[in-house]
Structure 1
Amino acid sequence: MLIAQTSQGVGMPQLGFGVGLRAPHYDTILRDAPEIDLFEITSESYLATRGKPLWFLDQIAERYPMVMHGQALNIASVDPIDFDYLRELKALAKRVSAHWISDHLGWTGTRQKSSHDVLPLPYNERTLHYLVERIAIVQDFLERPLVLENPATYLEFYESNMTEWDFLRRLSKRSKCKLLLDLNSLYISCYNHGWDSDNYLQGLPFDQVIQYHLGGHQNFGTHIIGTHAAPVAKQVWTLYEKVLRIGGNRTTVVQWDTDIPDLETVHAQALEAKSRWNMLVSYADAETFEGVD
């Protein structure tokens, strides 16, 4: 069994297997100093805030590597780019020494009205051209590559004339942005739209993928919704192993945003991801050894 190389590209370190930083776990982290590889913070949780949240963040950032994942960049909106938001984002990244800043491929509102969710967009040349221009502005301001995540979607546009994976490949090539592959969202979108996950993975530019996300969902039979309120589903674990074989290992973060259990339970999911990677490597090494005369 061959396993892909694990290179993450120039300047993008392999940080290991971590979890999203959530307020119910602050005290446990500072008290017990658990051996967690990294934390991913929700950017907006620490913007325009003072007091305890930032105090906890500063203490934890001194001890653990950090990456940032936002929800309000609104990169695909027709609204002007919010430079006040970018300024705060850049300052926060400096404050916690974030290795990278990620957000979602999609839009979250227009005319100062928020949908409180990431909404899909048509995959075509017009959208691609529009996004490349906006990403360039954001990257120039942040002075670093932007990392964009594939969305979990529940509808498609008649105006789309390319697949999501083809769109991501073209977008990363033209804009030089990096990609965050959310395995839960990938599974959800494939289920909801009848896409072939093998075709999706074969079409992705894994040399531009620097991080994986894992999380939970709820299956309603006719459709699946991403909830981040449950353990990683077995189907997503299967997809994760397939991704590891095709694309290699990447910094992996488990998201658990509602009905949050204790930190040990969430961290166990990250350790499961690490275990599955180590097992694949062990199998590959064993097969290589057996093939040597």
Structure 2
Amino acid sequence: MTPTAGLGLKSQHYDDAVACDAAGLWFEVHPENYMSAGGPRLAALEAVRARHPLSLHGVGLSLAADANPDRQHLAALKALVDRFEPFVVSEHLAWSTHRGAHQPDLLPFPRSRAALVRIADNIGRTQDALARRVLIENPSLYLPLKGHDLDEVDFLKALVAATGCGLLVDVNNVFVSARNLGYSAEAYVDALPAEAIGEIHLAGHGLDEGGSGLLIDTHGAPVAEPVWALYRRLVRRVGPRPTLIERDDDIPAFQVLMAERDRAASELAALEAVGV
């Protein structure tokens, strides 16, 4: 089966996922939730993987940290990759660990040339350990940082050139960051290197309840119409890519998520029909 549009897999939807036979459907999980020797969660993932393609989307490697990726974490990730043979492995362009402390978030960093060298080295170590290419996801940003030498797209391009990694383009992150920091989301997606894009994410966002006016990447709402429009702009230029609907909070019934997933599948099918 060729993966087209997929869903983030949630434990309450295991049975629905196994039973669903939608063409091109695939599922994505955070590998950190499955790094165990056994148990019902791994057994459920085995059952889903027997029916559908799978993607592993990491949240714990902390590639932008000022230290190498944790060897034990990499070994556990490699074991999952070998066991489930995902068609994509991805991670975030962010950090979450420092001097042994773990932060419960994916944190930003100044895009300096020194950071570029450090992160490229960490991506290289990860790809060597896994013996495969990894996709790197663009972050969602809320406030400007000092110390940038490169804009985000140029930084991503430089990582691709230095490591051979690919890109996971989170369109909602682009929209949220552009609105919060005051740049053009359209110019951002127009500048991305098409050949490097291996996956696309779509998710919902919300307005900061504290009254700051910031958009927050909540993953707790349906995909907003401006994000769908930005997605169409991207895929019409680069062509169809496996596309995921992410929902991590206020999770609705499986069929509600499938309706959003089917919308993405329809967008991709329309592109295929016209030969894009």
- On the 8 A contact 2:4/2:268 being kept in 1, the answer is no
Deviation sequence 1:152-182 (CA, Å, 0-9, x none) = 0112321002210111111111111111000
- 2:54 aligns with 66
Cα distance in 1, alignment partners of residues 3 and 21 from structure 2: 16
Identical-residue share of aligned pairs (%): 33
Letter in 2 for 1:246: R
- 2:252 aligns with 261
> Which is greater in Rg?
1
1:273 to 240, 264, 271: 264
Provide the secondary structure at the position in 2 that maps to 1:213. Answer: strand
Cα distance in 2, alignment partners of residues 128 and 29 from structure 1: 39
- 1:4 aligns with none
1:95 to 63, 83, 98: 83
1:37 to 18, 21, 25: 25
- 1:227 aligns with 218
Cα distance in 2, alignment partners of residues 138 and 175 from structure 1: 10
Provide the secondary structure at the position in 1 that maps to 2:162. Answer: helix
The reply to whether residue 83 of structure 1 matches residue 71 of structure 2 is yes
- On the 8 A contact 1:120/1:156 being kept in 2, the answer is no
Farther-moved stretch of structure 1 (193-202 vs 261-270): 193-202
Aligned pairs for 1:120-135 (under 5 A) are 120-135=108-123
Provide the secondary structure at the position in 1 that maps to 2:169. Answer: strand
- How many matched pairs? 272
- 2:174 aligns with 186
Contiguous gaps of at least 5 residues in structure 1:
1-12, 289-293
- 2:184 aligns with 196
Contiguous gaps of at least 5 residues in structure 2:
none
Cα distance in 2, alignment partners of residues 133 and 156 from structure 1: 25
TM value normalised by structure 2: 0.93
- On the 8 A contact 1:14/1:250 being kept in 2, the answer is no
TM-aligned CA distance change 1:187 to 1:14, over 3 Å: farther
1:166 to 136, 141, 154: 154
- On the 8 A contact 1:76/1:107 being kept in 2, the answer is yes
- On the 8 A contact 1:128/1:167 being kept in 2, the answer is yes
The reply to whether residue 175 of structure 1 matches residue 166 of structure 2 is no
Q: CA deviation at 1:199?
A: 2.1
Letter in 2 for 1:213: H
2:231 to 215, 237, 240: 240
Provide the secondary structure at the position in 2 that maps to 1:131. Answer: helix
Cα distance in 2, alignment partners of residues 115 and 156 from structure 1: 20
Provide the secondary structure at the position in 1 that maps to 2:115. Answer: helix
TM value normalised by structure 1: 0.88
CA RMSD of aligned residues (A): 1.8
Letter in 1 for 2:127: Q
Give 4+ residue runs of structure 1 displaced > 2 Å after superposition: 27-30, 276-282
